[in-house]
Amino acid sequence: MPAGRVYLETFGCQMNELDSELVTGQLRSLGYSFTPDPATADVVLYNTCSVREHAEQKVWSRLGELALRKQTEPGLVVGVLGCMAEREGDALFKRMPVVDVMCGPGELDRLPSLLDNALRTRSALVAEAASYQYADAPGTSAREFALQGSTSRRSSTLAAAADNLELLDLSRAISPTDHSGTAYVRITRGCNKFCTYCVVPFTRGAEVHRPPDHIVDECKRLADAGVIEVTLLGQTVNHYRFEHGAAVLIDGLVQPQKGRVYTHKDGVHEDPYRSSGAGGERVTTFADLLARIHDEVPAIKRLRFVTSYPRSFGDDILTVMREKPRICRYLHVPAQSGSDRLLKLMNRGYTVAEYLEFLDRARAFLHQPEIGRPLTVAGDFIVGFPTETDEDFEASKALVRRARYKNCFIFKYSPRPGTVAIDKFPDDVPENIKRRRNNELLALQNDISAEVGQEFVGHTVEVFVEGISRREQKVARRQAPAPAPASAGIALTVGGKSLSVDRAVDACGDDHGCGGTHIESDTPELDDRLAVPEERRIQMSGRTEGDVIVFFDCPAPQKPAELIGRVQNVRIDGNGGLSLKGTLLASKRHESSFIDR
Q: Give contact residues for ligand SF4 (rule: CB under 6 A).
A: 191, 193-195, 198, 200-201, 235-236, 309
- Of the two residues 413 and 552, which places its CB atom closer to ligand SF4 in the complex? 413
Given 4, 104, 212, 334, the residue binding ligand 5AD (CB under 6 A): 334
For residue 197, state whether it binds ligand 5AD (rule: CB under 6 A): yes
In three state form, how does the secondary structure of 388-450 look? CCHHHHHHHHHHHHHHCCCEEEEEECCCCCCCHHHHHCCCCCCHHHHHHHHHHHHHHHHHHHH
Given 26, 182, 257, 336, the residue binding ligand 5AD (CB under 6 A): 336
Q: By CB under 6 A, how many residues form the interface with ligand 5AD?
A: 12
Rg (CA), the chain: 24
In three state form, how does the secondary structure of 55-70 look? HHHHHHHHHHHHHHHH
Distance CA 247, CA 589 (A): 41
**Partner from ligand 5AD, ligand SF4, none contacting 411, C-beta within 5 to 8 A by type:** ligand 5AD
- Of the two residues 184 and 413, which places its CB atom closer to ligand 5AD in the complex? 413
**Partner from ligand 5AD, ligand SF4, none contacting 492, C-beta within 5 to 8 A by type:** none
**Minimal distance in Å, beta carbon 278 to ligand SF4?**
25
Please list, in sequence order, all residues whose beta carbon lies within 8 angstroms of the beta carbon of residue 14, skipping any fewer than 6 positions away. 184, 231, 233, 306
Q: Which stretch binds ligand 5AD (CB under 6 A): 111-119, 181-189, 217-225, 412-420?
A: 412-420
**Minimal distance in Å, beta carbon 265 to ligand 5AD?**
24
Q: Which DSSP category does 299 fall into?
A: T
**Partner from ligand 5AD, ligand SF4, none contacting 193, C-beta within 5 to 8 A by type:** ligand SF4
For residue 382, state whether it binds ligand 5AD (rule: CB under 6 A): yes
- Of the two residues 337 and 376, which places its CB atom closer to ligand SF4 in the complex? 337
**Partner from ligand 5AD, ligand SF4, none contacting 102, C-beta within 5 to 8 A by type:** none
With 0-12 CB in 10 A as exposed, 13-18 as middle and 19+ as buried, what is 344? middle
Distance CA 328, CA 462 (A): 11
Residue 310 falls in which region: left (phi positive, over 0), alpha (psi -120 to 50) or beta: alpha
Q: CB 164: neighbour CB atoms within 10 A? A: 12
CB 338 within 8 A of CB 397: yes
CB 541 within 8 A of CB 505: yes
Considering only residues 51-90, where is the footprint of ligand 5AD by CB under 6 A? 51-52
- Of the two residues 309 and 313, which places its CB atom closer to ligand SF4 in the complex? 309
Residue type, 56: E
Q: CB 295: neighbour CB atoms within 10 A? A: 11
- Of the two residues 20 and 336, which places its CB atom closer to ligand 5AD in the complex? 336
**Partner from ligand SF4, ligand 5AD, none contacting 7, C-beta within 5 to 8 A by type:** none
- Of the two residues 388 and 462, which places its CB atom closer to ligand SF4 in the complex? 388
Site of interaction with ligand 5AD (CB under 6 A): 51-52, 197-198, 334, 336, 380, 382, 411, 413-414, 416
